[in-house]
A = this chain, B = another copy of it.
Amino acid sequence: MNIFGIFILITLFGFLFSFKKFKQLMNKEEGEKKIKEISDLVHKGALSFLKTEYKTISVFAIIIAIILFFINYVLAICFLFGAFVSSLVAYVGMYVSTKANVRTVTSAKKSLKDALDTSFSSGLVTSIFIVSIGLIGIIILFSIFKDVNLLFGFGFGASLVALFLRVGGGVFTKAADVGADLVGKVEKGIPEDDPRNPAVIADNVGDNVGDVAGMGSDLLESYIQSIIAAMVLGFLAFGNLGLILPLFVCSVGVLASVFGSFFVNLKNQNIYSAINKGFYSAFLFMVFVLFFVVLSLNKIIYNSFFVFGPNSLFSLFFCVVLGLLSGIIISKYTLYVTSADKKPTRSIAESSKTGAATNILKGLSVGMFSTALPIIVVSISIIFSYSFGGHFGVALSSVGLLGILGIVLAADFYGPVVDNAQGLVEMGGLSKKIQERTERLDAVGNSTAAITKGFAIASAAFTSIALFISYIVVTNISTIDLINVNVIVSIFIGAMVPFVFCSFLIEAVESAAFKIIHEVRRQFKSIKGLMSKKQKPDYDACISICTNQALKGMLLPAIIAIVLPVLIALLLGPEAVGGFLAGAIGTGFVLAIFMANSGGAWDNSKKYIEQGNLGGKGSEAHKAAVVGDTVGDPFKDTCGPSLNILIKLMTIVALVFVPLLI
| B-binding residues in A (CB < 8 A) | 351, 354-358, 360-362, 364-366, 368-369, 371-372, 375-376, 378-379, 382-383, 386, 391, 394, 461, 465, 468-469, 472, 479-483, 485-489, 491-496, 499-500, 502-504, 506-507, 509-510, 514, 572, 578-579, 582-583, 585-587, 589-590, 594, 626-627, 630-631, 634
19 of the cross-chain contacts (CB-CB < 8 Å) are A360-B360, A360-B631, A362-B510, A364-B506, A365-B503, A365-B510, A375-B495, A378-B489, A378-B492, A382-B489, A479-B483, A481-B481, A488-B582, A491-B586, A492-B585, A495-B583, A495-B589, A499-B590, A627-B627
A212 to chain B, nearest CB (A): 25
Q: In the A-B complex, list the 3 residue pairs whose CB atoms are closest, starting with the nearest.
A: A357-B630, A495-B586, A368-B503
| Residues from chain B with Cβ under 8 Å of A351 in the complex | 510
Decide if A492 touches B375 in the complex (CB within 8 Å): yes
Decide if B493 touches A375 in the complex (CB within 8 Å): yes
| Residues from chain B with Cβ under 8 Å of A391 in the complex | 485
Question: Besides A368-B503, A495-B590, 20 other CB < 8 A contacts?
Answer: A355-B627, A358-B510, A360-B627, A364-B506, A365-B506, A378-B492, A379-B492, A379-B493, A382-B485, A383-B489, A394-B485, A461-B492, A465-B488, A469-B483, A479-B483, A481-B482, A488-B582, A495-B587, A586-B586, A587-B587
Q: Taking chain A's interface residues, is the majority helix, strand, or loop, or is none over half, making it mixed? A: helix
Contacts A368-B500, A369-B500 hold; do A379 and B482 have CB atoms under 8 A apart?
A: no
Contacts A365-B506, A627-B356 hold; do A472 and B479 have CB atoms under 8 A apart?
A: no
A155 to chain B, nearest CB (A): 20
| Residues from chain B with Cβ under 8 Å of A482 in the complex | 472, 479-482, 487, 578-579, 582
| Residues from chain B with Cβ under 8 Å of A506 in the complex | 361-362, 364-365, 368
Decide if B496 touches A375 in the complex (CB within 8 Å): yes
| Residues from chain B with Cβ under 8 Å of A631 in the complex | 357, 360-361, 364
- Bound state CA distance, A579 and B375, in angstroms? 15
Q: Which residue on chain B has the smallest CB distance to residue A480?
A: B482
| Residues from chain B with Cβ under 8 Å of A583 in the complex | 491, 495, 582-583, 586
- Bound state CA distance, A494 and B375, in angstroms? 10
Number of copies: 2
| Residues from chain B with Cβ under 8 Å of A488 in the complex | 382, 465, 468-469, 582
A414 to chain B, nearest CB (A): 29
- Bound state CA distance, A480 and B482, in angstroms? 5
Choose from B365, B371, B589 the contact partner of A507 (Cβ within 8 Å).
B365
Q: Which residue on chain B has the smallest CB distance to residue A483?
A: B472
Decide if B489 touches A379 in the complex (CB within 8 Å): yes
- Bound state CA distance, A491 and B578, in angstroms? 12
Decide if B489 touches A491 in the complex (CB within 8 Å): no
A454 to chain B, nearest CB (A): 16
A398 to chain B, nearest CB (A): 13
Contacts A375-B496, A506-B364 hold; do A356 and B356 have CB atoms under 8 A apart?
A: yes
Decide if A496 touches B365 in the complex (CB within 8 Å): no
A361 to chain B, nearest CB (A): 5
- Bound state CA distance, A378 and B490, in angstroms? 11
| Residues from chain B with Cβ under 8 Å of A355 in the complex | 627, 630
| Residues from chain B with Cβ under 8 Å of A578 in the complex | 482
A359 to chain B, nearest CB (A): 9
Decide if A494 touches B357 in the complex (CB within 8 Å): no
From A383, A481, A495, A594, name the one whose CB has the most chain B CB atoms within 10 angstroms: A495
From A382, A472, A496, A503, name the one whose CB has the most chain B CB atoms within 10 angstroms: A496
Q: Which residue on chain B has the smallest CB distance to residue A384?
A: B485
| Residues from chain B with Cβ under 8 Å of A483 in the complex | 469, 472, 479-480
- Bound state CA distance, A379 and B567, in angstroms? 14
| Residues from chain B with Cβ under 8 Å of A479 in the complex | 479, 481-483
| Residues from chain B with Cβ under 8 Å of A630 in the complex | 355, 357-358, 361
A173 to chain B, nearest CB (A): 16
Decide if A368 touches B499 in the complex (CB within 8 Å): yes
| Residues from chain B with Cβ under 8 Å of A586 in the complex | 491-492, 494-495, 583, 586-587
A630 to chain B, nearest CB (A): 4
| Residues from chain B with Cβ under 8 Å of A494 in the complex | 586
Decide if B480 touches A589 in the complex (CB within 8 Å): no
- Bound state CA distance, A343 and B480, in angstroms? 40
Q: Which residue on chain B has the smallest CB distance to residue A494?
A: B586
- Bound state CA distance, A205 and B360, in angstroms? 27
Q: Which residue on chain B has the smallest CB distance to residue A571?
A: B383
Q: Which residue on chain B has the smallest CB distance to residue A594?
A: B499
Choose from B362, B503, B514, B587 the contact partner of A369 (Cβ within 8 Å).
B503
A596 to chain B, nearest CB (A): 13
- Bound state CA distance, A361 and B503, in angstroms? 9
| Residues from chain B with Cβ under 8 Å of A500 in the complex | 368-369, 371-372
